[in-house]
Amino acid sequence: MPVRRIFINTALVLGLLLAAYLLYKVFSRYSLDEIIQSIAAISASRLMLGVGFCALSYLCLSGFDWMALRYAGKPLSYPKAALASFASLSIGHNLGVAALSSGAVRYRYYARWGLNAEEVAKVVLFCGVTVGIGLSTLAGILLLINPGDASNLLFIGADALFWLGVGCLAVPVVYIVLAGTLRAPLLVWRWYFEMPALKLAIGQVIIGTVNFICVAACLHQMLGQRGFELRSNGDGLCACKYRRARNSCSRWPWRAGGNGRSCAAGYGLDRGARRVPGGLLLAAPLDRAHGLCGKRIDHS
C-alpha cells in the first residue's frame, strides 16, 4: 500500500475517533432521559421544518461540489458529487475546520474517480470561495434591510452599517465582474488563481446565499419559539436581539452575562435548572460548522 494511501487512511480513522470523542463530551453532560424530554419539547412542525431546512442546506452543498468539479475541469455526475459532498461535509461539519477535515474525505472519493491532488485542491478552494461569497452576500442584504437589529448587535451606527452592507455586497459584484472579464489567471500575492466561468460565478453567489439562508432557518426552527429573541428556557437563537435576553448577556452571546452565568443559559444549558438544549443538540452540526454560536459553555 502506498505511503500516501496509508497516511490518508490513518487521518480518516483518527478523524472518526476524534468525532466519537467530541460527541461523547457533548452528550455525557446529560442523561438520555433529559435529552429525550428536551427534544420532545420541540413541536413536531418545527422539528420537521428544521430537518427540511437542514436537508436543503446539504442539497445546496452538493451543488457546491457539482460546480467545483466543472471548475476543476473534471465534471462528474451529480450523484457522485452529492455522495462525496455529503460524506465529507457531514464529517467535516461535526469535527470542525471543515475545509481540512472534509478535504481528506473528498480526496479519497475523487482520487478514485480520476482526480489528482491539484484538481481536488481546486474543488476544495472553489467550495470555500462559495461559502465566503454566500456569507458576504447574505450579510450585505441583511445589513441593508434590517439595520436595527444589526446596530443592536454590532454597536455600529446607521451610516457605518450602510457602508458595511454596501462593502459586503460589493464582494460578489466584483467577483462576478472579474469572472466575466478576466481571462488571465488572477495573481494574489505569489499565487495564481484561475477565475471560474461567468455562469459558475453567478451560480456560486446564488447557491452560496441560499445555503446560508437554509442554515439560519434550520437554527431558527430548532432554537427559536418566539422569533429571533433569546430566552432563558432554551428556545433562543444566538446573536439576535441579545439585549432582550433574560440573562443580560454581554455583547457576544458566548460570554458571561451580568448575573455571572454564561449566556449559554439562554440555550437551556443551565444544569441547576435541569435545562437541556434539545434544539441545540439537533442543530449542532450546522451550528458548529458555520460558527454562528459560541464555543465556550459555562455551567457555573
The pLDDT tens digits for 51-67 are 999 999 999 999 999 99
Q: Are strands 191-193 and 186-188 parallel, antiparallel or unpaired?
A: antiparallel
80 pLDDT higher than 70:
yes
Q: Label residues 115-146 b or e (16+ Cβ within 10 Å = b).
A: beeebbebbbbbbebbbebbbbbbbbeebbee
The mean pLDDT value for 34-62 works out to 89
Q: Please give the share of the chain, as a percent, with pLDDT higher than 70.
A: 70
Which residues are 256's β-sheet partners? Answer: 262
pLDDT digits (tens, 9 = 90+) for 130-168: 999 999 999 999 999 988 888 888 888 888 889 999 999
Q: Longest Cα pair distance anywhere in the chain, in angstroms? A: 62
The more confident residue out of 243 and 58 is: 58
Q: Is the pTM of this model over 0.85?
A: no
**Model confidence over 90-101: pLDDT tens digits?**
877 776 666 667
For the chain, the domains span 3-223
pLDDT at residue 280 is higher than 80: no
pLDDT of 86: 92
Q: What is the mean pLDDT of the chain?
A: 75
The confidence score (pLDDT) of residue 172 equals 96
